Chains A and B, each alone.
Chain A
Amino acid sequence: MSGKLKVIAAMSGGVDSAVAAARAVEAGHEVIGVHLALSSNPQKYRSGARGCCTVEDSHDARRAADVIGIPFYIWDMAEQFHAGVVENFLSEYQSGRTPNPCLRCNEKIKFEAVLVRAKALGFDAVVTGHYAITKEVNGVKTLNRAVDPEKDQSYVLAVLTADQISGAIFPLGDTVKDDVRKEAQARGLFVANKPDSHDICFVPSGDNAGWLRERLGSEVGPIVDQNGKELGQHNGAYTFTIGQRRGLNLTVPTPKGEPRYVLSIEPKTNTVVVGTHEALAVNKIVGQPPIWCGPAPELNKVYKGFAQVRAHGEPLPTKYQFDGTHLIADLDQPVFGLATGQALVIYEDDRVVGSATISETF
C-alpha cells in the first residue's frame, strides 16, 4: 500500500507485531497500537510469556508501543473471541473434526471484528506481524507466501477474503525471523528475545487433550478396527486426531505387528476407529465453504496448483476445481492422516488462491 494511511497495529505483546508496528511508522503511516484482550479474565487463559492473552502480554504490548512512540489502547474482543474461536473449537471437536483456532481467529477476530471496527473509526487498514506478502496484481491485492519458509503464515491467513486482504498490511513478509529479532534489538524493543508463541493461546497448560476433557467430559468409549472389532478403550473420542499413533494404549497387536493409527472419530457413538498406515491414505479432499483470497476460479474448470493441509505442511501438487459449492483437490500423490476440520489451502506457486474447511476425504 502506498501513501500515508491511518492504520491500527494489532500488537500481541510479541516481537513480530512490535516490529511490524515500528515498520508501519517508518513507512510514514499514522499508527495506533491496539492490543486485543481475548479473555474477559485475562489470567484465566494463560500465564507465562508465550501466549497471546495474558496480563504480561498486554503489558509488553504497551511497552513496545511506548518505545515505538505510538498511542496504545486495549480493545476488548473477549466476547467475539469466545463465540467465534473457543466455542467453535469445542464444537468442532465434539463433531469429530480437528479445528485450527489460529485460522478462525484471523477470520473472525483480527481481520473481521478488528478491521470492521477500525474502518468504522476512520482507519484505513490493520497492520499485523504475520509473515506473508501482499502484492498488487492488476489493481487487485493478492496474498502470497513469506520469504522465510519456516515462518510463512499464508496458510493461516488463507481464510481472508480479497476485501480483507486489501485492508491488511503485513510488513514482515520479506524478512526472516532472525532478522526480525535483530531488528527488534536494534530498535530497543525488549520483547526481542521473547519466545515465540506456540500451541493454543486459550489452553493454559498446553495440554490440549486435558483441556478438552475438562470441558467435554471424558466418557469412556471403544477403540475399534475397521471391521468394528473392539481393541481397547479411550477416555473421550474428541481428544484424538486423525493420523494419531501415540496414546492409543492398545494391547491387541495387528497380525503383522504394524503400528495402528486413528482413522476416524465417530462422536455419535463415541468410537475411535484405528487401522494401518495405508488406510490413512487420502487422494481426494473436499472442502467448503470456499474463501477466495483473490479472483475466484471459473466454475468446474480444472486447474493445476498446490494443496496445503497443515500450517507448516508441504505443498502437495494437485489438480483442483470449484463446483459451485465445494473446493475439490485431486492430489497427484496421496497424503496420510488428514483430519476433517483442518483447512485445505490452494496455492498457485506462492500465491494463495483460496481455502476451505475440509469436510470429506477419499
Chain B
Amino acid sequence: MAVHSSQIYFDHAATTPMVQPAIDALTAQLLKTGNASSLHSTGRSIRKELEEARESIAKAAGCSAIDVIFTGTGTEADNLAIKGLYWLGAKAGKNIIITSTFEHHAVMDPIKWLQEHEGATVIEIPVSKTGSLDLTALQAAVTQHGAKVAFISIIHANNEIGTVQPIDQVVKIAGGIPVHSDAVQSFGKIDFNFNQLGLTAATISAHKVGGPLGVAALILKKGVNIEPVLHGGGQERDIRSGTFNAPGIIAFASAASNAMIHMQARDAKIRKLKSLLITKVLAAVPDAWVNGQSENSLPGVVNITFPGSDNEGLLLLLDMAGIACSTGSACSAGVHRPSHVLMAIGLTEDETTSSLRFSLGESNTEEEIDKLAAVIASVVEKSKSAANKKVSK
C-alpha cells in the first residue's frame, strides 16, 4: 500500500507548508557564507540582513527589535521564559507561578520541572467548558498571593481547541507581575501585539506561520535580564547563546511579513472552510460535538468529539482514506496521551480519546472537506465497534 504523499492535510497546527517568499529567502541565504557574529565584512553583511529580519519580526509582533531573542524552537523559547522568569523572581523571594490548566507541554512541563526541582509553588487557573480562562479565579489568586508571584504564563490561542484568551485582561489583573504568553499558534494568524497587550514575554515559532522548522523567538522586554538556559557565546543579549541561524531567521521574517499582509483575507477564507467542516461533519455524525468553540478562536482549528469512538482507530482509518488530522500529543514512543486540554474543559478521559483535531490552512479546499464528510460516518462507526466504549451521553 502506498504511503499517501498527496494527502488531504488537515494538520496545519502541527506544522504548515512554507510559503514561497520564505522558501526564496531561505534558499538565497543557503548560498551565502558568513557567521553573523564575525567582525569582518562577510560577517557584517549577513548580520545586516539578520537585523533587518529582527526588525520586521518585531514589527509583525508589535514589539521593539531589541526584545526579539531568536531560539531554535518554540519549545526552547517557552523553557527560557519559564525558567528565566522563575529564577529572576526567586531571587526576590517570589516562588509562585500562576498558569492555566491547558497550556502546551512546552510551558506545562518546565513549570512542573520547577515545581519538582526548584521548589516552585504552582497555581493553576481553571478554564471554562468553552475554553476561556476563569478571570475571577485569576483575580483571586493575584489578590491573595500577588507579592509572592514570580510570573504568570497563559497561552494566547490554544493549540488543541483554538480558543483565544483575553491576555490584555490577564495583564491588567497581573498589575506589576510579569506575564508570559505562548503565542505560537496565534502569531501571524490573529491580532497579536506584544506592546499593546503589555506583555513581559511571549513565544512565537516560524514553522507555524509558513517559515522553516528550527527557528523561533522569545520576545522579552528589554531590561528584563533573565538567566540563560544555554550558556556560551552570548549572541542574544547574553540570554541565548549559539551561532545565529541566519538563513532560518531571515526566512522566518519573510514568512511573518507575508502572514501579516495576508492575515485578513486568509482569516475570512479559512473561517468559512472551518464552519463548512463543522456543519458537514456534524451532519454526518449527529452525536458528535465541537469542543470549546467560542467566537473568539483561531480561524483554522476545530476539535471534535465522536462519542464512543477511539481516536487511534479514527486516525488510522482517515489516514488510510488519505486524510491527515491529529489526536493531540503523543510521547516519544508515539503513545497517545489523554489530552489535558480537553480534560481541562471538562471532558472525561474516554471522551478525550474520542476526539480529533482538524486544523485548516491556506491549501485546503471545499472539495477536501466534502471528501472528509463523505467518509467520516463510516470511519466513526468502525472505530466505535473497535473501541467498545460505553457512551454516557
Question: With A32-B316, A71-B3, A71-B319 as given contacts, are A117 and B386 in contact (CB-CB < 8 Å)?
Answer: yes
Q: Which residue of A lies closest to B1 (CB)?
A: A30
Does B39 reach chain A (CB closer than 8 Å)? no
Question: For chain A residues 31-69, which have a beta carbon within 8 Å of chain B?
Answer: 31-32, 35, 37, 40-42, 54-55, 58-59, 62, 69
Q: Is A58 touching B1 in the complex (CB atoms < 8 A)?
A: no
Does B371 reach chain A (CB closer than 8 Å)? no
A residues near B49, Cβ cutoff 8 Å: none
The residue in B1, B315, B336 that gathers the most chain A C-beta atoms within 10 A of its C-beta is B1
Q: Which residue of B lies closest to A57 (CB)?
A: B333
A residues near B383, Cβ cutoff 8 Å: 120-121
Does A336 reach chain B (CB closer than 8 Å)? no
Main DSSP-derived SS at the B contact region: helix
Q: Which residue of A lies closest to B386 (CB)?
A: A120
Q: Is B334 touching A74 in the complex (CB atoms < 8 A)?
A: yes
Does A75 reach chain B (CB closer than 8 Å)? yes
Closest chain-A Cβ to B193's Cβ sits at a distance in Å of 41
A residues near B317, Cβ cutoff 8 Å: 121-122
Does A116 reach chain B (CB closer than 8 Å)? yes
Question: For chain A residues 236-288, which have a beta carbon within 8 Å of chain B?
Answer: none
Question: For chain B residues 305-322, which have a beta carbon within 8 Å of chain A?
Answer: 312-313, 315-317, 319-320
Other A-B pairs, 16, CB within 8 Å; known A31-B1, A74-B336, A76-B335: A42-B333, A55-B332, A62-B334, A70-B1, A73-B312, A73-B316, A73-B319, A75-B312, A76-B336, A117-B386, A120-B383, A121-B316, A121-B317, A121-B382, A121-B383, A122-B317
Q: Is B385 touching A76 in the complex (CB atoms < 8 A)?
A: no
Does A86 reach chain B (CB closer than 8 Å)? no
Closest chain-B Cβ to A102's Cβ sits at a distance in Å of 21
Does B331 reach chain A (CB closer than 8 Å)? yes
A residues near B385, Cβ cutoff 8 Å: 120
**Which 8 pairs, one residue from A and one from B, show the smallest C-beta to C-beta distance?**
A120-B386, A74-B334, A42-B333, A120-B385, A37-B335, A58-B333, A117-B386, A55-B333
Main DSSP-derived SS at the A contact region: mixed
Q: Which residues of B contact A (CB under 8 A)?
A: 1, 3, 312-313, 315-317, 319-320, 330-336, 382-383, 385-388
B residues near A55, Cβ cutoff 8 Å: 332-333
Q: Which residue of A lies closest to B331 (CB)?
A: A42
Q: Is B333 touching A37 in the complex (CB atoms < 8 A)?
A: yes
Question: With A30-B1, A71-B320 as given contacts, are A78 and B335 in contact (CB-CB < 8 Å)?
Answer: yes
Q: Which residue of A lies closest to B4 (CB)?
A: A71
14 contacts between A and B (CB under 8 A): A32-B1, A32-B316, A37-B335, A42-B333, A55-B333, A59-B333, A62-B334, A69-B3, A73-B319, A74-B334, A74-B335, A117-B386, A121-B316, A121-B386
A residues near B319, Cβ cutoff 8 Å: 71, 73
